[in-house]
Structure 1
Amino acid sequence: MAENISSDSQNAVVRTAVTDLFGTRFPVVAGGLQFLANADYAAACANAGIIGFLTANHFPDDATLRAEIRKAQDLCGDLPFGVNIAMLPKSAAHERIEQIVDVVAEEGVRFVETTGRSPEAFLPVLKNAGVKVLHKVPGLKYAEKAQSVGVDMVTIVGWECGGHPGPNAIGSIVNAALAPSRLTIPFLIGGGLGHGSQVLAALAMGASGVLMGTRFLAANEIPAHVSYKNALCEATENDTTISLWSVRNNARTMINETTRIVAELERAHPDAGIEPLLPHVAGSVARQTYLDGDTSRGMVYAGQALGFVKKTQSVSETIEQLITEFTEARTRLRAYL
C-alpha cells in the first residue's frame, strides 16, 4: 500500500489514503485522549490540517455527547473531525456503546475511531449512516480481523505507545514492515511516533499515515493543568513503564509513585485481580491529575514519544514542526536515491 508523494492535491504536503479519506493536508491522525479530547482539541487539529477525535466514552450521557459533537461541528465547519468510541475487550452491562453509536449516526458524524473489541456489531448502523470507520488495534492479527469485518482503515499501535499496547511486545517498526503483506486496506502506524522523519519512514514501509497521541498532550488546546504539561515536557523517552501485567491489561504510563505501588502489589499478589489495584489505577485518580497537575499519582498515560515533547505549543505549531522535519527527512532520503 505504498503511496505516491505529492504536494499539489488539496494543498496536501503529501497525498495518501489518509489525506484523501479525511480531506487533510498531512497524514497524521490525533487519536482520542481520554478526558482531554474535546471539541476544542478536535477543532485545533482540524485547523492545523489533520484530524482529531473527541472521546465519546468520557461524556456522562447522550445529551452531553450530542452537545459536544454539535460544538465540534460549529468549530470545524467543513473541516474534518471524528468521534473515538472505546470498547472493553468484552461487552459489559455498564457500557453505552449502542447509544453512543446511535448518537454519532444521528448527528451526522463522518468519521469514527473505534478501539478495544471488534466493532463488527456496530458497523451496520455506522455504514448505513455513511460513517467511515478507523479501527485501532494492538497487533497485526487484530488488524486482519478488523479488515475481515469491513472497517475502512486500521491503526496498528506498537509496544511504545501510551495507554494500552496489548499483550504482544511488538514494536512499531516491525508492525509497519509486516503489515503490507497481510493487509489490503490502508493502515496507519502508532506507538512512539512524534517526529516528522517517522512519518516519512512509515510511508516508506507502506503505511498511509501515523497516529500520534502523546505528542499532543502538552498542546495549548489540551484542557489540563500547566504543571501536568510541564511534567511531560521535562520527561524523556525513559520515563514510562508498563503496569497491570497481572490483570492482562498492560498499560504504559509515566513512572511515578502509583506505578511503584502497583508494581509492588502485582509482585506480591499476582493472582489478586483488579480489586486491590483499583484505588490507585481508577480513572477518577488520573482525571484529578489533569485538574491539579500533580503527576506523582494516578495512571498518567503517555508513550515513549515523550522524548519529542519539549515545550507547550499549539497543535498548529506542532504540525508545522512535523512538516518541517518530514521535508528535511525527505530531502536527506533523496540524496540516496
Structure 2
Amino acid sequence: MTRPHEVPLFDTAVTRLFGIRHPILCGGLMWLSTAPYVAAAARAGGIGFITARSFPDMGAFRAELQTCRELAGGNPFGVNLYLSNRESENAILERHVDVLLDEGVRAVETAGNAPGVLLPRLKEAGCTVLHKVSILKHAERAVRDGADAIAIVGMECGGHPGLDFIGSMVQGTLAPMRLGVPVVLGGGIGTGRQVVAALAMGAAGVILGTRMLVSEEIRAHEDYKRRIVAADERSSRLVLGILRNTYRVMDNTAARTVAAIEATGETDFEAYRPYVQGTAARRVYTTGDTDEGMLAMGQAAVFADSLAPVAAIYDELLADAATALDTVRRVSPVMA
C-alpha cells in the first residue's frame, strides 16, 4: 500500500528548488540534526539540514555527511550554518564550508546574522541557500545579498523569535508579497492543515522544528521526548528578553530560574550563564533531566502527540493536508 509520503501532493517553488517531493523542510536543530534524522527527512521526501556547529571537529563533520549521504538513499540533504553575533566564533564556518563542498553538499540553510559573508563562495560552488530569519527586514537584506529562498519564523517558534514578536499569520502573508524569492513559513506549525494554509498565503512550503523533536531518529533521551509529548500550547516560556536575545524554551525549572533573575533587572550575562550555556542543553539530550538547561521548544509542541518515525510524521502531515484540501474544495463560493 502506498503511503502518503511516497506520493507528491504539492508542486511548489521550494519542491522544485531543492528537488524534493514535499514542501516540508526540517530546520537545523543544534546537537540533534544528525545523520539519522536528516537522512530520514530526505527519504520521506523533504529535506533536513545537519547542524555544522554540532561538529567542531572537521573529521567528525565529514564522517557525519558521509553517513547521511549513505542513509539518504540518493535523496538531497543539506547543512545548517549558524552565523553568530560574535564574529570570532564564525571563523570555523569557513572550514565547515570547505568540507561540505568537498563532500558534494549543495543545499545550505543559513541562520543568525546576515549570510552575506558566506554567500559568494556558496553561490559560486552552485549551492542553493535558504536563509532563516524572524523578521522581514532581515529577509530583505539576505535576498539582496543573494539568498535563493527565505525561511521566516513567527513568534510561536522555538529558539529565537526575534524582538518584534510578529506571528506566523502575518509573516506568512507579508513575506511572499514582498520578497522576490520562494518563502517557507515556520513557527507554531505542526499539522497538514497549516501546510495548506501557508501555501494559501503565498508561501512555497513550511519549515518544522519543534514538531519533529519527537522523531524516533532524533538522538535524544526518551524522557525528553515524552515531556514534549505531554506539552500543550502553553508549555513554553520566553526568556532573556532583557538581554535582547529572546529565547522560547521549554517552561522548566532552569527557565523559571532565568525568568526570576530577569525580574530583578539583572543585565550581566554571567548571572545567567550557568543556566543558558549550550552544554547544559546537550546534557539533557543524554540524561533526560528536562529541568536542566534552556531547551528550545515552540508552541507546536501541542501537535507533537506521540513518538514516531520521521516518515510516519510526514504521513500524518500529508494525510491531514489532503483532508484540508478536500474541506476547502467543499466550501461553495457565494454566487452573485
TM range (shorter): over 0.9
Shift of 1:12: 1.9
2:289 to 285, 294, 311: 294
Structure 1, residues 92-140: CA drift from partner, whole Å, max 9, x if none?
Answer: 2564111112222222101000001111111121112111100000111
SS of 2:184's partner is strand
In 2, Cα distance between equivalents of 1:141 and 1:81? 28
Of all paired residues, the percent bearing the same amino acid is 45
Residue by residue over 1:207-261, the C-alpha shift from the partner in whole angstroms, topping out at 9 and shown as x without a partner, is: 0000101011011101111111111101111100100112111100010111111
Q: Deviations over 1:176-231 (max 9, x none)?
A: 11123211111011000000000000000000000101011011101111111111
Contact 2:18–2:128, Cα closer than 8 Å, also in 1: no
Partner of 1:116: 112
Per the normalisation by structure 1, the TM-score is 0.94
Residue 217 (structure 1) aligned with residue 177 (structure 2): no
Q: Aligned partner of 1:320: which letter?
A: D
What secondary structure does 1:96 align onto? helix
Counterpart AA for 1:177: T
Q: Counterparts of 1:164-179 in structure 2 under 5 Å?
A: 164-179=160-175
Partner of 1:36: 32
What is the TM-score with the length of structure 2 in the denominator? 0.95
The whole-number CA distance in structure 1 between the counterparts of 2:142 and 2:124 is 18
The count of aligned residue pairs is 327
Q: Who is 2:59 aligned against? A: 63
Distance 2:253 2:71 in 1: 39
| Residue from 210, 225, 231 that aligns with 1:229 | 225
Q: Is the 8 A contact 1:12 1:19 kept in 2?
A: no
1:159 aligns with 2:140: no
Residue 333 of structure 1 aligns with an amino acid whose one-letter code is V
Give the letter aligned to residue 135 of structure 2: G
- State the Cα distance separating 1:270 from its structure 2 match: 3.0
1:11, distance to aligned residue in structure 2 (A): 4.5
What is the letter of the counterpart of residue 52 of structure 1?
Answer: G
Structure 1, unmatched stretches of 5+, are 1-9
Q: Secondary structure at the match of 1:108?
A: coil
- Match of 2:12? 16
1:186 aligns with 2:214: no
Does residue 332 in structure 1 map to residue 327 in structure 2? yes
SS state at 1:29 partner = strand
Q: 10, 22, 26: which one pairs with 2:22?
A: 26
Q: Compute the RMSD of aligned alpha carbons.
A: 1.3
Preserved CA contact (<8 Å) 2:83 2:90: no
**Aligned to 2:312, which of 304, 317, 320?**
317
1:249 paired residue among 242, 245, 264: 245
Deviations 1:138-160 (A, max 9, x none): 11111111111111000000100
Alignment partners' CA distance in 2, 1:95 and 1:287: 23
Matches for 1:267-306 after TM superposition, within 5 Å: 267-272=263-268, 274-306=269-301
Report if the CA contact (8 A) 1:105-1:125 is conserved. no
Query: Runs (4+) of structure 1 moved beyond 6 Å?
Result: none
Task: Give the partner amino acid of 1:224.
Answer: A
1:88–1:116 CA contact under 8 A, matched in 2: yes
What secondary structure does 2:180 align onto? coil
8 Å Cα contact 2:228-2:304 kept in structure 1:
yes
**Deviation, structure 1 residue 49:** 1.0
Q: Who is 1:4 aligned against?
A: none
2:82 pairs with 1:101: no
Q: Are 1:197 and 2:193 matched, yes or no?
A: yes
